[in-house]
Amino acid sequence: MMKRNLVMIVSFLVLVFPVRAYAAGLCCQVSSGSQESLLDSTLPESGRFSLQLLYSFSMMDELKEGSSTVSLQDVKNDGKYTKLPVDMHMIKYTLNAVYDINDKFTALISVPYVRNTMDMEMGMRMMGMGTTWMDHTMTPIQELGDVTVMGLYHYYLKGGNVKTDILTFGLGVKTPTGSATLRGSSGKFIHAHMQPGTGSWDPLFSLMYSKDMAPFLLQTDLTYQLTTRNRDGYEFGDSFAANVIGRYAVTSFFNISAAVTYLHVNSADDRDGNYTDLTSLMDDPDNTGGDSIWLSPGIKVRPFQNNLTAIDLKVQFPVWERVNGIQLVSTYRILAGVTFNF
C-alpha cells in the first residue's frame, strides 16, 4: 500500500507540473543489464536546447546460473526446461530532447524505438526416445518503446552559478507507451522481456554530482526506478544503478572517458501467470533479477569549431554478474550517438 501511494504521488507531481520543472526526461531504463546514464545532463546552459540520436546494440548469448557460466547442454541435461534461449539481440534507437529552462532547471524527454530478436532451441519429448531439439527463431519485435519524461534541478554547491561543483536532483516517470501485450502464433503473450514496453507507469529518482577540474571532469549518479504492476498482472523488478565516470579533455574537440556501473534489479512478479510458462527458461519469473558491475570506456568528438555538434562512441561490458536462477545475459553493448546543440 505504501509503495502504491508513493507511486501515485510522484506520478501526479510529474504530470501536473510539466512546464515549470518536470517537463521531459531522459530514460534510465534497464536494457539487458545496463542503464542509460543522465550524467551528460548535469552541466546546464540557460536556454540551450539539445537533440540526441542514440543507437544501442546489446548482445545476449551467455547463460549464467548465479555467478557461474553454464552451457546450453548443461541446461538441457537438467531436464527442467524444453524452451531455451540461444542468443538475443536488443537494438534501440532513441531520440532524446533536452532543454535547459534556466541555470537551475532542465527538462528532458526520451523516445525509444526497439527491435528485439531471439534464437531458441525447442525440445519435444518423445515416449522412450528422449528429447528431440529443434532450432527456432522468433519473429522480430520492432515497435515504439516506453517514453520517459524527467525534470532536473541543479544546486550549485559553491554558490551563484559556479559550475565546478553541481548537485543535481532528478524526478521523472517512464510511461507505458510501448506495447506489453504482443502475442505469438500460439495466442499467448510473448516473453515479457521481449515486449517493446512494460505496460506500467514507473517513477524515476536520480541524484547526480559533477566536479569540474578542467581538463578532468568527475561525475557520479544514483538512479532508482520504482516499478509498478501492469494491467495484466506483471511487475518488473525495481532497479538501482550507481555510476562513476571520469572524463579527460585531450583537446578542445576530443575527450576520452571511462565509467564503472553497479546495477541491481529485483525479481519480477507475474501475479496472474499471464506471462509465465514453467517449461520455458525465459518465462519463469524465478529467472529474473540480479546484480552486475559494468565497465564503459568511450570517446567524444566535436568535429566542428563551434562545438555545437558532438559524436559519442561507447562500449559496455560486464566484469561481474550474479543472477537469480538461470538467465541469458549480455556479453557486450555498443552505443553510438550524435548530439546537436541549439
| Interval 150-197: pLDDT, tens | 999 999 988 776 678 999 999 999 999 999 999 988 889 999 999 999
How does residue 19 score in pLDDT terms, banded at 50, 70 and 90? Answer: very low
CATH of the domain at 43: 2.40.160.40
pTM for the structure as a whole: 0.86
Statement: residue 77 has pLDDT above 60: yes
> Which residue range(s) make up the domain with 221?
2-341
217-238 pLDDT, tens digit each? 999 999 999 999 999 999 999 9
Q: Which residue has the higher pLDDT, 334 or 15?
A: 334
Instruction: Please check whether residue 223 is in contact with residue 204, taking contact to mean a CB–CB distance below 8 angstroms.
Output: yes
The grid coordinates of residue 54 equal 542514440
Q: How far is CA 127 from the centre of its chain?
A: 44
pLDDT at 277: 95
Instruction: Please check whether residue 109 is in contact with residue 148, taking contact to mean a CB–CB distance below 8 angstroms.
Output: yes
Between CA 86 and CA 334 the distance in angstroms is 20
Phi-psi region of 122 (alpha: psi -120 to 50; beta: other; left: phi over 0): beta
267-296 pLDDT, tens digit each? 999 999 999 999 999 999 999 999 999 999
pLDDT at 254: 95
pLDDT at 127: 73
Statement: residue 24 has pLDDT above 60: no
For 206-242, b/e burial (b = at least 16 CB within 10 A) is: bebbbebeeeebebbbebebbbbbbebebbbbbbbbb
Which secondary-structure segment (H or E) carries 329? Answer: strand 326-341
Please give the tally of structural domains in the chain.
1
pLDDT at 158: 84
